[in-house]
Amino acid sequence: MRRRELAVAGVLAVLLLVLALRAPSFFQGQPLRSLLTREAPVLVMACGMTVVILTRQIDISVGSQFSVCSVAAGLLAAHGWPIGAVIPFAVFLGFFLGAVNGALVAGLGLPSIVVTLATMVTLRQGLNLVQQGEFVNLPDRVQWFGLEQTPGQWSVLAIALAVLAGSAFALHSFAAGRHFYAVGSDAEAARLAGIRPRRVTFAAFAGMGALCGLAAVMNIVQSPQVQPLAGAGLELKAIAAVVVGGVAISGGRGSVWGGAIGLLLLACIPSALTHLRIEAYWEKAIQGGIILLACATEIARPRAKKSPPAKAAAA
């Protein structure tokens, strides 16, 4: 782990320590587990977002993708599909939505911020048009995958941790994982090293979509109904977590671990606010402040050294 991840982990530790001293109730098993389970889908999305930002792109349509997958999965489940079939369907639907972004960004060379802004709104409003804001009622067997609540929560957490560990492993230990770093660091050098930047960029977006689908399923099993607006604002949370966790917006630097720690930090803020008697309305402002602060740390970071040829030539 790099210094940045350690620094964020340090801030998190301080926050947890303050909570432990001022509000020990925060650490009670059931509420804490519920908090973590609620954040588990976002963790899955943060993993995907890490890859997208590593590749020096951005995807702000993930909240909408999440909503669309949630509703579609919910409707299928309500029509009697077994959960075992709903999961791959949601993942595939997400993959398809992400692939559309990927094709537009990598294939046509369009800027990802505008492309995903457009798909974000198209998907969200399309969903609203179809769904009219109606909730989808789910059959009982869907909730917690048909398990009791506690084992259900554990299984959601287990999936999230598996995705985290899996993506960390893939990014670190497979050539394909390193290619995301290479393309984000310098696409031209990547081309010279025999990597195809377009393909890698496409894969980042498609993978992001698939993870949105998975996250959607992890979310709908937590309640008896599917909210069609469940995904609104998730893009910001995922991006904030990743940026706070030290993944450089200029690409090529960072890890999913950083994103995970960043997310934990952000997730603890509302609880911390409640426990420390600060009004919860400050959450969004604090989130924005944290993003700016995380940006500001990039100012202090030493830039790549440019050793002037002239200086060294004096032998």
Residues 210 to 239 in contact with other proteins, rule: CB under 8 A: 236, 239
Q: Does 4 bind other proteins (CB under 8 A)?
A: no
Does residue 247 contact residue 253 with C-beta atoms inside 8 Å? yes
Of positions 158, 250, 274, 276, contacts other proteins by CB under 8 A? 250
Q: Does 3 bind other proteins (CB under 8 A)?
A: no
Q: How far apart are CA 87 and CA 92, in angstroms?
A: 9
Q: Which neighbouring-strand residues pair with 136?
A: 226
Q: Which neighbouring-strand residues pair with 137?
A: 225
What's at 226, amino acid-wise? V
Q: Does 173 bind other proteins (CB under 8 A)?
A: yes
- Count of beta carbons in the 10 Å neighbourhood of residue 35: 16
Q: Least distance from C-beta 138 to other proteins, angstroms? A: 24
Interface residues for other proteins in 253-272 (CB under 8 A)?
Answer: 253
Q: Does 162 bind other proteins (CB under 8 A)?
A: no
Q: Least distance from C-beta 63 to other proteins, angstroms? A: 12
- Closest by CA to 210, choosing from 261, 250, 153, 166, is 166
CA separation, residue 161 to residues 75, 188, 197 (Å): 27, 34, 29
Q: Does 287 bind other proteins (CB under 8 A)?
A: yes
- Of the pair 116, 219, the CB lying nearest other proteins is at 116
Of positions 3, 21, 28, 314, contacts other proteins by CB under 8 A? 314
- Of the pair 153, 287, the CB lying nearest other proteins is at 287
Q: Does 122 bind other proteins (CB under 8 A)?
A: yes
Of positions 6, 20, 121, 165, contacts other proteins by CB under 8 A? 121
Does residue 297 contact residue 8 with C-beta atoms inside 8 Å? no
Q: Least distance from C-beta 90 to other proteins, angstroms? A: 22
In degrees rounded to 5, what are phi and psi of residue 87?
-60, -55
Interface residues for other proteins in 15-74 (CB under 8 A)?
Answer: 55-58
Does residue 234 contact residue 63 with C-beta atoms inside 8 Å? yes
Does residue 287 contact residue 269 with C-beta atoms inside 8 Å? yes
Q: Tell me the window of 75-83, 101-109, 158-166, 216-224 that interacts with other proteins (CB under 8 A).
A: 101-109
Q: Does 110 bind other proteins (CB under 8 A)?
A: yes
What is residue 226's three-state secondary structure? Answer: strand
Of positions 29, 79, 84, 132, contacts other proteins by CB under 8 A? 132
Q: Least distance from C-beta 236 to other proteins, angstroms? A: 6
What's at 77, amino acid-wise? A
Q: Tell me the window of 31-39, 42-50, 138-146, 245-253 that interacts with other proteins (CB under 8 A).
A: 245-253
Q: How far apart are CA 190 and CA 200, in angstroms?
A: 10
Q: Does 283 bind other proteins (CB under 8 A)?
A: yes
Q: Least distance from C-beta 123 to other proteins, angstroms? A: 8
- Count of beta carbons in the 10 Å neighbourhood of residue 270: 16
Q: How far apart are CA 7 and CA 297, in angstroms?
A: 11
Interface residues for other proteins in 178-207 (CB under 8 A)?
Answer: 178-179, 181-190, 192-195, 197-198, 201
Of positions 21, 84, 140, 299, contacts other proteins by CB under 8 A? 299
Q: How far apart are CA 263 and CA 274, in angstroms?
A: 18
- Closest by CA to 71, choosing from 209, 231, 205, is 231
- Count of beta carbons in the 10 Å neighbourhood of residue 215: 33
Q: Does 141 bind other proteins (CB under 8 A)?
A: no
Q: Tell me the window of 67-75, 82-90, 157-165, 295-303 that interacts with other proteins (CB under 8 A).
A: 295-303
